[in-house]
Amino acid sequence: MALRKKGMKTLISNLGKVEAEKFISLIIREPFDYTEWQQNLFSDFSVKELSNLAMKEYKTGAPETSPSTKD
């Protein structure tokens, strides 16, 4: 139960109440293979781009959704 509560707080703080509800509704309604999703999540990024994003998030604490520059 504590994990569910923490998950909801995380969703709401990042998406807002309405978008969090929409997200949950999508997950419940559609068949979802988490493992397959994780394997393809960053397939459009190079290793360098992922590293840059991770370092940026580590330094600022704010997640990035796309690479800022291509090197």
pLDDT in tens, 1-34: 789 899 999 999 999 999 999 988 888 887 778 7
Tokens of 2: 């504590």
Q: How many angstroms separate the CA atoms of 49 and 56, rounded?
A: 11
Give every CB contact of residue 51 below 8 A, 6+ residues apart in sequence: none
Q: Do 5 and 18 lie in a common domain?
A: yes
In terms of average pLDDT, the best of 14-23, 34-43, 56-65 is: 14-23
Q: Do 59 and 44 lie in a common domain?
A: yes
Q: Do 19 and 39 lie in a common domain?
A: no
Q: Do 14 and 45 lie in a common domain?
A: no
What's the whole-model pTM score?
0.44
Question: Which residue segment(s) compose the domain that 11 sits in?
Answer: 1-32
Residue 49 contacts residue 67 (beta carbons within 8 Å)? yes
